Chains A and B, each alone.
Chain A
Amino acid sequence: MKKNKIALITIFLILAVSVLLYFIPINQLIGKLPFVNRFYNNTTLEISTKAGVAKIWINGEDYGETPASIEDLPEGSYLIELQKIADEEAFYKKHSFQIELIRNTSARIDLEMGPEDLLHGVILYYTPIRTTSDEGFLTVISNVDNSRIFLDGEFLKVSPITNLGLREGQYEIKVLAPGHEEVEVPVLLQNNYVLNLKTFLFPIPVHFESVEIKDE
């Protein structure tokens, strides 16, 4: 009888602890521990804007101007806002991006900000992935539908590419779309991480020519 009681209590305790573990955000708690949190808050975010300087806000907080390298941000999702500094600010739209920062990884925003909402460049960040294979994964999207994506000069497919498994290493990604400037970026794939690459392509300016209507 006593043994049954102990067995029942043990089973109940195990189930209770299991349910508790399910609901407790263990990683978040560990990330708040002193000393240990250094290993959780070691992300790096690099922001640069070609042909101009932009103001940076991260989650609404002013982080200065581009170029900037922001380190030791805690793991999590961030709202990055960029506003090009120009005489005619209304000419350039404020851009907002949501990116994930994962511990032990770096993220990069490398953009050229054009008039209105035009952008050219890349946003790059890593997210972890669980898999049995020792591979890195590549995800590429483009702001232009059906952009053509090339990997080390080889055509892969039209965008988007999602979780394409590749060996760990460095690759050259090129994104092309008719009527748009190309984007070329070297990337480093790490095992058990997805490299998320968001690409933005400037449209190629159109040259108008006047043609007289005439019968041939």
Chain B
Amino acid sequence: MSNLRLNKISPQTPIAIIIHGGNRVGYLTAKTLIDQGCYVVIIDKFNSKTRRYLSELKKSELFDFFDFKGFNSLFKNVKRFDYLFYFLNERLDKKEFDSKEFLNETKILEETLTNTRKNNGKFSLITSLALNRELANRVNNEQLSTPSPYSAMELQKYCETLVAEFRDKSNINLRIIRLGTIIGRGIEKVNNEILDNLLTDSVQRNQITIKGEGLDLHSLIHEADATYGILKLSFSDNTKGEVISLANKNNYTTLSLAYKLLELNTEAQTIRFVENPQEQFLIQDLYVPAPHASNYGWSQQVDLEEALVEQIQKYYEATNKTWDINKTPQKIKQKKTVKVGKTKLGEFLFSILSPFKKVSEKTKEKKIDTKKTIKIFLTTILLIAVTYFVIYPIVGTLIGLLLINSSVKNLSISILDIGQIQSSQEIEPLEKNVDRVGRSVDQMYWMFQLLGKDELYDNTTQLILGAQYTTQGARQLVDAIYPLTQYMQDFEPALDFQTSTPTTTREYRSYLEEMEKNSYKLEEADYRISLASEIITNLNTTVFPKVLQDKIVEFKEIISQIEEGTESFKAVNSFLPDLLGVDERKRYLVLFQNEGEIRSTGGWLTSYGIIGIEGGQIRELFVDDIYNADGTLKVQNKRFTPPRSMSNALEITDWPFSLVNWYPDLSDTLTEAEPFIYELGKGSSLEGVITIDVSFIEELLERWGGIEVPGETELVTSENLNSKIFQMHEEFVPGSTQKTTFLANLANEIVKKLLSMDVTDLMEIADIFEKTLNEKHLQATFKNKDAYNFFSSKDWANSMSNKYNDAPISIDWNWGGNKANLYLDKNYSLTINIKDENTIDYIYSITVENSSTENVYPQGDYINYQRIYIPPQAKILRISGIEDNEYSVYRESGFKVIGGWFNTPIKSIKTLDISYRIEREEGDSNFPIVIQEQNAFFDINLFKQPGEKKYAYKLDITYPSTWNLESSPGLNSISNQLSGRFELNKDLEFPVIWRIPN
């Protein structure tokens, strides 16, 4: 303790005195000052605690130490000093003092202040932030006791007051620095009982014990930060006269520190809460600290975790244990299993107050930034708007299209498939997705407008509307046809053509009844799908992006298929239950015709069959040669009188069953056949008649590549079918069963094959049915009104309805006993001259060429009784070409009929010409030209005789030049003439519309 060294200090060297500096922070402060070239004097007691710091500092020449015993002499010998650091906080390590200690301390402080003023130095009083907080809480909380007069709190309060008063009186450059609890590598024992216990528990025990709730707050600071802060604040002039809090900016609760310690992989694994008998019932910490040091340029350098790690390390060293800090991250995960306990009162209070505390803490922590709030609000609104008007429509449309695309591929197939359940499951989500895409596209309207893509939008919405109609219709269709598909799936015939013993008794009446009930669904399905088809067909595909164009074209095809299927299902569903005998047994006559020898309904009748159906099950099945039927009737002396027109033409008096198809209208044949069937004992009434000719069977055999027929040594194919039939006809004698057996076996095999096919296979040969029905190689008519209307409207019933009210109908009857029709070629010509809206002239001619080379079966002269059916009111103007010009004209089936022989010998050509006029009569509702408003409608219907081949037809129409043609599909128009050249392979219709000027 040399006085000499102090007084030898050069005036340029600053001198700092640190009172109570024999501690870690005092040591660090002194060391820092020395390192900066400052002369440091520490005044403290010399004891075991202070010795190690002082011993270290004494190594420097710029350091000196005085014991308090020489305190008074110090200031006398010191000529100057610049800084004085009074570490009162270190003096406050015990809670209570005696009066002597109290007075002695205050005296030292007063002496120090006086000398500081004399030397014009800077003074810093370092006190305890924790004590100040405790004091404030005691003052603010009436329930807490006031501190004792000589407590550490009172001493700090007194000293701070003294410094403040001194400052007021002397304007001395001083400040009070309230220092947080110091932690760090150099702190052997933290100067806070609670924290010390926490740290001790954490390194020595497997659980940390917290008394009470652990919500009391602690202000901590690392030793380096404290040193730096004390120096920074003391050197700064703007801290003059200020009271400053020096600690980390955040306060920490005991609990949070305990968790932190657990996270740092200390010995302790859990936290245990215990009752605190000294609980101070501090509901809320109302302490308002002095301005923080950060306001004066100080900033925290060491974060809490780093500081705690150092402190824990120190505690571990004291217990001679090792601590592996590197395992901490893994440990943190494991700490999730930490069990937290609370006292009962603690639990109760925490549950009640924690929400309020959280809010209170958050409010305290976060200041409301108005600009930021507005910014966040506006951004949120913008994001919502962008989401709703931009992102959602795009995302929604994309999702929808993806979902639709995945399910639409198999839609057309599955709808028409018998696996209805799968179809329904596919359609339901599809319907929803189409609706959702519609909503999404709706939201994009503004985008289309902005981009000027109105046409694209319109077409897109139409596409969606079409898709909606399609899915709605498809769903109803699937529901409606379910019983039908089930029936087709489950059907097993009880009989076949060869055996008369039923193989099953199963009926399908419930399916048929369900089909009847579902008719309205089919109506609705048909309505929606036809609308959809119309909408989709009219879409302008080119406005869509190229990637979608193919899909839309594909969709057009799908909807067209569905529409076609729906129409058929709808029609069929309306009459099928009745035809299949839902209420009673229904019998049908099947006629096998040979068109090589043409007759009114298509050909010479070779065999016939009877099918009886009840409850959807076949209950009767019979087939026989037509001549056996004739023979049976003859033997039974059952005779029938032929129609007058027939007896006149063919000069016969008896009407055999084999000639029952005299009338061209198949419904007439149905009616006329009934008595024959009755007399044959095959049923009292017939519900329908079906005709099949050789061409139909040929078509099927062609597709199937032939069929095996029992009794035949070779496969029956389309090529050898005719020769087999000719052979049988040549060899036939009444009573023989050769022909019957072959045809029965052939029919049986065909029917068996048809019934064994599933719907998909049937759909594959649907074109054969459609073609042969259209070309009248396969025909059917029924008494059931709906069935008749359906087949008639399709021209499949050979019905001579009142729509044939203008063009002539030509009917041949080969009476030559050969197959000359196979060797004929024909040309038809019809010229229509519309004089005015009330008068029409028709000129009709038929030219026939017989290419038969010899009069040997099947070739020969074509001996034909020709009938031409014209409207009943027609006035015949000219007839030529009939044999010997001998013809008869009579009314039959609502027509005027011209009948006569029009024969064509082998290797010859013959022509028949007929012309007639039709004039509108008063009250005539069946005149071909219908005038409605300003329009004239003229439908020309051309009738093709069943069994006829495709012959050339020439149609020419001349109309008044004042009429304006509006439409004439299928016909060419030149000036006031229309013309068409085509092959008459089926019934044809040419609707013509004119606009008639007033």
CB atoms of B454 and A132 under 8 A apart: yes
Q: Would you give the 0/1 interface string for A203-216, flagging 1 where the beta carbon is closer than 8 Å to chain B?
A: 01000000101111
List B contacts of A10 (CB < 8 A).
383
Query: Does A154 sit at the interface, judged by CB under 8 A?
Result: yes
CB atoms of A176 and B890 under 8 A apart: no
CB atoms of A150 and B383 under 8 A apart: no
B385 CB → nearest A CB, Å: 11
CB atoms of A178 and B396 under 8 A apart: no
Known A-B contacts A14-B391, A22-B436; A130 and B930 likewise in contact (beta carbons under 8 Å): no
How far apart are the CA atoms of A95 and B519 in the complex, in Å?
10
**What are 9 A-B contacts with C-beta separation under 8 Å?**
A19-B396, A132-B454, A141-B530, A153-B934, A155-B935, A155-B966, A162-B531, A162-B538, A213-B891
Query: Does A35 sit at the interface, judged by CB under 8 A?
Result: no
Known A-B contacts A97-B520, A198-B527; A22 and B395 likewise in contact (beta carbons under 8 Å): yes
List B contacts of A15 (CB < 8 A).
391, 395
Query: Does B299 sit at the interface, judged by CB under 8 A?
Result: no
Query: Does B551 sit at the interface, judged by CB under 8 A?
Result: no
Query: Does A139 sit at the interface, judged by CB under 8 A?
Result: yes
Q: Would you give the 0/1 interface string for B203-226, flagging 1 where the beta carbon is closer than 8 Å to chain A?
A: 000000000000000000000000
CB atoms of B445 and A130 under 8 A apart: yes
Which residue on B lies nearest to A24, using beta carbons?
Answer: B436
CB atoms of B391 and A18 under 8 A apart: yes
Which residue on B lies nearest to A99, using beta carbons?
Answer: B524
CB atoms of A163 and B535 under 8 A apart: yes
Interface residues of B in 472-530 (CB under 8 A from A): 476, 519-521, 524, 527, 530
List A contacts of B888 (CB < 8 A).
215
A135 CB → nearest B CB, Å: 10
How far apart are the CA atoms of A97 and B519 in the complex, in Å?
10
Query: Does B993 sit at the interface, judged by CB under 8 A?
Result: yes
- From A26, A95, A130, A213, give the contact of B461 (CB < 8 A): A130
Q: Would you give the 0/1 interface string for B431-454, flagging 1 where the beta carbon is closer than 8 Å to chain A?
A: 000001011111001001100001
Known A-B contacts A21-B392, A213-B891; A145 and B793 likewise in contact (beta carbons under 8 Å): yes
Known A-B contacts A21-B388, A22-B440, A155-B934; A129 and B461 likewise in contact (beta carbons under 8 Å): yes
Known A-B contacts A150-B932, A162-B535; A14 and B383 likewise in contact (beta carbons under 8 Å): yes
Main SS of chain B's interface residues? helix
CB atoms of A21 and B396 under 8 A apart: yes
How far apart are the CA atoms of A181 and B538 in the complex, in Å?
31
A153 CB → nearest B CB, Å: 5
List B contacts of A178 (CB < 8 A).
803, 930
CB atoms of B890 and A132 under 8 A apart: no
CB atoms of B932 and A163 under 8 A apart: no
Query: Does B399 sit at the interface, judged by CB under 8 A?
Result: yes
Chain B CB count within 10 A is highest, among A15, A22, A148, A153, for: A22
CB atoms of A160 and B934 under 8 A apart: no
Which residue on B lies nearest to A11, using beta carbons?
Answer: B391
Q: Would you give the 0/1 interface string for A94-122, flagging 1 where the beta carbon is closer than 8 Å to chain B?
A: 01111000000000000000000000000
Known A-B contacts A98-B520, A155-B934, A216-B889; A160 and B530 likewise in contact (beta carbons under 8 Å): yes
CB atoms of B891 and A22 under 8 A apart: no
How far apart are the CA atoms of A132 and B458 in the complex, in Å?
6
CB atoms of B890 and A215 under 8 A apart: yes
3 residue pairs, one from A and one from B, having the closest CB atoms? A96-B520, A162-B534, A22-B396
Query: Does B249 sit at the interface, judged by CB under 8 A?
Result: no
A126 CB → nearest B CB, Å: 14
List B contacts of A162 (CB < 8 A).
531, 534-535, 538
List B contacts of A4 (CB < 8 A).
none
Chain A CB count within 10 A is highest, among B454, B930, B933, B934, for: B933
List B contacts of A22 (CB < 8 A).
392, 395-396, 399-400, 436, 440
Interface residues of A in 149-191 (CB under 8 A from B): 150, 153-155, 160, 162-163, 176, 178-179
CB atoms of B400 and A155 under 8 A apart: no
Interface residues of B (CB under 8 A from A): 383, 386-388, 391-392, 395-396, 399-400, 436, 438-442, 445, 448-449, 454, 457-458, 461-462, 464-465, 476, 519-521, 524, 527, 530-531, 534-535, 538, 644-645, 793, 802-803, 888-892, 925, 930, 932-935, 937, 966, 991, 993
Main SS of chain A's interface residues? mixed
CB atoms of B386 and A141 under 8 A apart: no
Which residue on B lies nearest to A20, using beta carbons?
Answer: B392
How far apart are the CA atoms of A198 and B802 in the complex, in Å?
26
Known A-B contacts A130-B442, A155-B933; A160 and B396 likewise in contact (beta carbons under 8 Å): no
CB atoms of A179 and B802 under 8 A apart: yes
CB atoms of B531 and A139 under 8 A apart: yes
List B contacts of A179 (CB < 8 A).
802
CB atoms of B889 and A19 under 8 A apart: no
Interface residues of A in 1-20 (CB under 8 A from B): 10, 14-15, 17-19
CB atoms of B524 and A98 under 8 A apart: yes
Q: A79-B520, A97-B524 are known contacts; what are 6 more A-B pairs with Cβ within 8 Å? A: A130-B464, A131-B457, A141-B527, A141-B530, A155-B935, A214-B891
How far apart are the CA atoms of A18 and B935 in the complex, in Å?
55
List B contacts of A150 (CB < 8 A).
932-933
Which residue on B lies nearest to A127, using beta carbons?
Answer: B465
List B contacts of A163 (CB < 8 A).
462, 465, 531, 534-535
How far apart are the CA atoms of A95 and B644 in the complex, in Å?
45
How far apart are the CA atoms of A61 and B454 in the complex, in Å?
44
How far apart are the CA atoms of A160 and B533 in the complex, in Å?
11
Chain B CB count within 10 A is highest, among A79, A95, A96, for: A96
CB atoms of B386 and A213 under 8 A apart: no
List A contacts of B538 (CB < 8 A).
162
Q: Would you give the 0/1 interface string for A43-70, flagging 1 where the beta carbon is closer than 8 Å to chain B?
A: 0000000000000000000000000000
A72 CB → nearest B CB, Å: 24
- From A14, A19, A97, give the contact of B386 (CB < 8 A): A14
CB atoms of B933 and A154 under 8 A apart: yes
A128 CB → nearest B CB, Å: 10
Known A-B contacts A132-B458, A198-B527, A213-B645; A18 and B395 likewise in contact (beta carbons under 8 Å): yes
CB atoms of B932 and A155 under 8 A apart: yes
Which residue on A lies nearest to B785, using beta carbons?
Answer: A116
Which residue on B lies nearest to A194, using beta carbons?
Answer: B465
How far apart are the CA atoms of A38 and B793 in the complex, in Å?
48
How far apart are the CA atoms of A10 and B379 in the complex, in Å?
11
How far apart are the CA atoms of A95 and B392 in the complex, in Å?
43
List A contacts of B930 (CB < 8 A).
178
Which residue on B lies nearest to A79, using beta carbons?
Answer: B520
How far apart are the CA atoms of A150 and B889 in the complex, in Å?
41
How far apart are the CA atoms of A154 and B934 in the complex, in Å?
8
Which residue on B lies nearest to A21, using beta carbons?
Answer: B392
- From B392, B465, B520, give the contact of A18 (CB < 8 A): B392
B670 CB → nearest A CB, Å: 19
List B contacts of A211 (CB < 8 A).
891
- From A19, A129, A132, A148, give the contact of B395 (CB < 8 A): A19
A90 CB → nearest B CB, Å: 12
- From A130, A139, A204, A213, give the contact of B441 (CB < 8 A): A130
How far apart are the CA atoms of A45 and B694 in the complex, in Å?
57
List A contacts of B793 (CB < 8 A).
145
CB atoms of A18 and B387 under 8 A apart: yes
How far apart are the CA atoms of A146 and B440 in the complex, in Å?
37
Which residue on B lies nearest to A148, using beta carbons?
Answer: B932
A158 CB → nearest B CB, Å: 8
- From A23, A129, A146, A214, give the contact of B890 (CB < 8 A): A214
CB atoms of B534 and A160 under 8 A apart: yes
How far apart are the CA atoms of A78 and B400 in the complex, in Å?
26
A4 CB → nearest B CB, Å: 17
Which residue on A lies nearest to B462, using beta carbons?
Answer: A163
CB atoms of B396 and A176 under 8 A apart: no
B41 CB → nearest A CB, Å: 50
How far apart are the CA atoms of A216 and B891 in the complex, in Å?
9
How far apart are the CA atoms of A20 and B478 in the complex, in Å?
30
CB atoms of A132 and B457 under 8 A apart: yes
Which residue on B lies nearest to A146, using beta carbons?
Answer: B991
How far apart are the CA atoms of A70 and B914 in the complex, in Å?
63
B398 CB → nearest A CB, Å: 9
